[in-house]
Chains A and B, each alone.
Chain A
Amino acid sequence: MLRFDQVSKRYPGGHDALSRVSFELSSGEMTFLTGHSGAGKSTLLKLIMLMERASQGQVLINNQNLNRLSSSQIPYLRRQIGVVFQNHQLLFDRSVYDNVALPLVIEGYKPKEAARRVRAALDKVGLLSKEKLNPLTLSGGEQQRVGIARAVVNKPPLLLADEPTGNLDPALSAEIMNLFQQFTDVGVCVLIASHDIALIRRLNRRVLGLSKGELVHDGVLTNVDTATKA
C-alpha cells in the first residue's frame, strides 16, 4: 500500500530531515510513527502528501511512484489519502456538514450521493446530530472527530493522522484510536504520528521510530525503547 524505499529529504540549507528511510505498510494495517519533534515525522507525512518531494529514494503509494507525479496530478493523489490534522484544519465559515462534504464537492459527487456519505461518516464519528452546527461551537474532541469524518468521507485507502490525540484527554484519545482501528478492519491503511507512548503501548501495534531523520525502530513496542521515548 505505502512503501518508502531509501528515502532521504534534505531541505535547502543542508538540513537532513530524513535519511535513507525504508519501510512498507500494507492495507488494513495500523502503524504508529513516533520520535522527538524534529525527528522527521512531519517531513515523512509531507512526503506522502506530496507537500514536499524526496531528495533521494522513492515513495510509492499503490505502486505509484510519487517522484513521477507532476504537480497537476497531486490533487488526484491527495484524494486517495485521508488526513487528520492536529489542529483539525476545519473551516469556521460553514457548518459541520459542509466541512465534511468538502472532499466530495471537490471530487464532484452528486449532492444526493454526497449527502448520504457525509451522514454516514458523521454517524460513524457520532456527530450526526450536530451536522448543522458551526464547528466553532464544538469541543476539541468533537472538532477532531469532524476532521476524521472529513478524512474518511471519500473512503481513501490510506489514512494519515498527525498527532490526532494531541490535545485530548485519555478517554477521548482512546475513543479516537478505537475509530481508527475500525477503519483498519475495512482495509484502510492507517499511519498515526504520535507522541503518546503510553497510548501506543496499550494498543500494541507496529511502531516506526524516527530519530534525527533515521528509522531506528520498526516493530511492536515491547519495553521502553530509548530511541523512541518521547
Chain B
Amino acid sequence: MSIQPPRRRSSNTRSARPGAKRVSTPEIEPTSSRGASSHHTAVGDRWQAYLLHHRHSAKDSLQRLLAKPLQSLLTWLVLGVALALPAILLISMNNLQALGQRWDGAPQMSVFINPRAQTAAIEIIQRRISQHDGVQQVEYISPEQALSDFESQSNLGSALRSLEANPLPPALVITPAAQLSAEALTELGAELEAMPVVDEVVFDQAWVQRLHEILRLGEVISLSLGALLALGVVLVIGNTVRLAIESRREEIVIIKLVGGTNAFVRRPFLYTGLWYGGGGGLLALLLLVSGLQWIASPVASLAALYGSDFILQGLGLSDGILLILLASLIGWLGAWLAVGRHLGEIEPQ
C-alpha cells in the first residue's frame, strides 16, 4: 500500500507506513522536524511543487539554449526559414485573392435576348430566371440603356448614333449564387441558353472564376507544402532534442535512480522543443515582416501604374501570434516524439 502515485497519497501515509520508523530521525535532521515531513504531501503543496518544476524546467531549458547561442541560432534559423516558406505562400494567396475580389469576385453572365422578343415575354423570362436556385440577382438592361452605357464608356457614341437603328439587343445581367462551382456555372449557362427568346449567354469575367479556382489550388498546394515543412520542423526539433537527451544521459539515469518519474525526466526536454519551435516561429515572423516591408513599395508603385490603390496585405497581430503558437506546438510535438522514443532506452544499468 505504500507505493502509490502521489495524488492518491493522503497527507499522513508517509508516517503511517508500516515498518518505517523514520519519524524519529532527529540525528539526520538537527532542527525540530516532527510532523513536518507530512506537510509536503498535501495536494496544494504538490501542485505548487509541480508548477515550480514546470517553471524551473522552462527556465533551465531556455538557459541551456542560450548558453550555446550560435548552435541555437542556427537551429532557430533553419526552423524560421522552414516556417516562413508556407506562410509566404499563404500570404501571396491571400493577396491574389484580394486582388481578384476587387473585380467583384462573383462572375456575371449576360443573357442576350432576341431583339424581336415582346416585353411581356422578357418579363416572364426574367421572373423565371430570378427564381432559379443558382441565381442571386437578375438585372434587365434595355437596348437604350445599353446604348447609353456603351456611349459613356467608349468614344464610339457618334458612330453608333449614325446608325439607323439601335443594334444592341436587350439583355439580362445575371449574378449567379456565390457558392456555384465552375461546372455549375457552365450548366447554368446551358440551361439559360435553352430558354425561349434567349439568343446567347456570355460569361463575363470568367477569368475571375478561373483565378479563384487557381487560387484555391494554390491554397491547397501551400497548405500541403506547409504540412510537409511542418513535418520537417518536427523532425529537426526531434533530432535536436534527441541530441540533448543523449548529452544528458547520465543525468537522466541518476534522476531515474533516485525516483524521478518519466514525466519529471521528460519535462525539460519538452520545454526545449517548445523553445526551439517558438523561437523558430518568431524568426519566421521577423523574416516575413521584413520581407513584406521590402516588397511593399515596389508593389505599391506597380499598382499605381495600373491605376489601382491595391495595398499589400501583410500579417496581422493575431496571425503573428498564431504563427508563434503553432510553431511552439510543433516544437513541443517534435520533442514529445523524440522523448517518447529515446527516453525509454535510457534506464539505469
Contacts from A to B (Cβ < 8 Å): 1, 27-28, 49, 51, 62-64, 69, 72-73, 75-80, 83, 89-91, 93, 102-103, 105-111, 113, 116-117, 120-121, 123-124, 150, 152, 155-157, 182-183, 185-188
Contact A51 B349 (CB under 8 A): yes
Known interface pairs A75-B261, A76-B259, A155-B37; A124-B27 also in contact (CB < 8 Å): yes
How many angstroms between the C-alpha atoms of A121 and B25 in the bound complex? Answer: 11
Contact A120 B40 (CB under 8 A): no
Interfacial residues of chain B within 30-47, with CB under 8 A of chain A in the complex: 30-31, 33, 36-37, 39-40, 45-46
Asked if B311 is at the interface (CB within 8 A of a chain A CB), the reply is: no
How many angstroms between the C-alpha atoms of A102 and B255 in the bound complex? Answer: 8
Across the interface, which residues of A come within 8 angstroms of B19, CB to CB? 1, 27, 62-63, 157
Across the interface, which residues of A come within 8 angstroms of B250, CB to CB? 91
How many angstroms between the C-alpha atoms of A164 and B21 in the bound complex? Answer: 24
Contact A155 B255 (CB under 8 A): no
Asked if B298 is at the interface (CB within 8 A of a chain A CB), the reply is: no
How many angstroms between the C-alpha atoms of A72 and B262 in the bound complex? Answer: 8
Known interface pairs A51-B349, A79-B259, A93-B251; A110-B40 also in contact (CB < 8 Å): yes
How many angstroms between the C-alpha atoms of A72 and B112 in the bound complex? Answer: 78
How many angstroms between the C-alpha atoms of A80 and B20 in the bound complex? Answer: 10
Contact A89 B49 (CB under 8 A): no
How many angstroms between the C-alpha atoms of A227 and B134 in the bound complex? Answer: 98
Asked if B53 is at the interface (CB within 8 A of a chain A CB), the reply is: yes
Across the interface, which residues of A come within 8 angstroms of B2, CB to CB? 62, 64, 80
Known interface pairs A1-B19, A91-B250, A103-B258; A186-B24 also in contact (CB < 8 Å): yes
- Rounded to whole Å, the gap between the CB of A153 and the closest CB of chain B is 8
Known interface pairs A62-B17, A187-B21; A108-B53 also in contact (CB < 8 Å): yes
Q: Beyond A183-B27, A188-B25, list 11 extra A-B contacts (CB 8 Å).
A: A62-B2, A75-B260, A80-B2, A91-B251, A102-B255, A108-B50, A108-B53, A113-B39, A113-B40, A152-B28, A187-B25
Contact A116 B3 (CB under 8 A): no
How many angstroms between the C-alpha atoms of A150 and B40 in the bound complex? Answer: 18
How many angstroms between the C-alpha atoms of A105 and B46 in the bound complex? Answer: 11
Asked if B347 is at the interface (CB within 8 A of a chain A CB), the reply is: yes
Asked if B307 is at the interface (CB within 8 A of a chain A CB), the reply is: no
CB nearest neighbor in B for A78: B259
Known interface pairs A51-B347, A91-B251, A185-B27; A75-B259 also in contact (CB < 8 Å): yes
Contact B257 A120 (CB under 8 A): no
Across the interface, which residues of B come within 8 angstroms of A150, CB to CB? 258
Chain B binding surface SS class: loop
- Rounded to whole Å, the gap between the CB of A42 and the closest CB of chain B is 10
Contact A75 B39 (CB under 8 A): no
Interfacial residues of chain B within 45-99, with CB under 8 A of chain A in the complex: 45-46, 48-50, 52-53
Across the interface, which residues of B come within 8 angstroms of A120, CB to CB? 28-31, 33
Q: Which of A1, A108, A182 contacts B45 (CB 8 A)?
A: A108
Contact A78 B49 (CB under 8 A): no
How many angstroms between the C-alpha atoms of A64 and B45 in the bound complex? Answer: 27
Q: Mark B1-35, 1 if CB is under 8 A from A, else 0.
A: 11111100000000001111110111111110100
- Rounded to whole Å, the gap between the CB of A54 and the closest CB of chain B is 17
- Rounded to whole Å, the gap between the CB of B244 and the closest CB of chain A is 13
Q: Which of A80, A103, A105 contacts B3 (CB 8 A)?
A: A80
Contact B18 A63 (CB under 8 A): yes
Across the interface, which residues of B come within 8 angstroms of A77, CB to CB? 3, 259
Known interface pairs A75-B260, A76-B259, A185-B27; A107-B20 also in contact (CB < 8 Å): no
Across the interface, which residues of A come within 8 angstroms of B25, CB to CB? 155, 186-188
How many angstroms between the C-alpha atoms of A117 and B26 in the bound complex? Answer: 11
Contact A157 B52 (CB under 8 A): no
Known interface pairs A155-B22, A157-B17, A157-B22; A76-B28 also in contact (CB < 8 Å): no
Contact B49 A76 (CB under 8 A): no
Contact A103 B33 (CB under 8 A): no
Across the interface, which residues of B come within 8 angstroms of A107, CB to CB? 40, 259
Across the interface, which residues of A come within 8 angstroms of B48, CB to CB? 110
Asked if B254 is at the interface (CB within 8 A of a chain A CB), the reply is: yes
Q: Which of A110, A116, A157 contacts B49 (CB 8 A)?
A: A110
How many angstroms between the C-alpha atoms of A117 and B36 in the bound complex? Answer: 11
CB nearest neighbor in A for B254: A89
How many angstroms between the C-alpha atoms of A89 and B50 in the bound complex? Answer: 25
Known interface pairs A51-B349, A69-B3; A78-B258 also in contact (CB < 8 Å): yes
Asked if B266 is at the interface (CB within 8 A of a chain A CB), the reply is: no
Across the interface, which residues of A come within 8 angstroms of B167, CB to CB? none
Contact B22 A187 (CB under 8 A): yes
Contact A78 B31 (CB under 8 A): no
List 27 interface pairs A-B (beta carbons < 8 Å), by A numbering: A51-B347, A62-B20, A64-B1, A64-B2, A75-B260, A75-B261, A75-B264, A76-B3, A76-B259, A78-B256, A80-B3, A89-B253, A106-B255, A107-B40, A108-B6, A108-B40, A110-B39, A116-B31, A150-B258, A155-B22, A155-B29, A157-B17, A157-B21, A182-B27, A186-B22, A187-B21, A187-B25
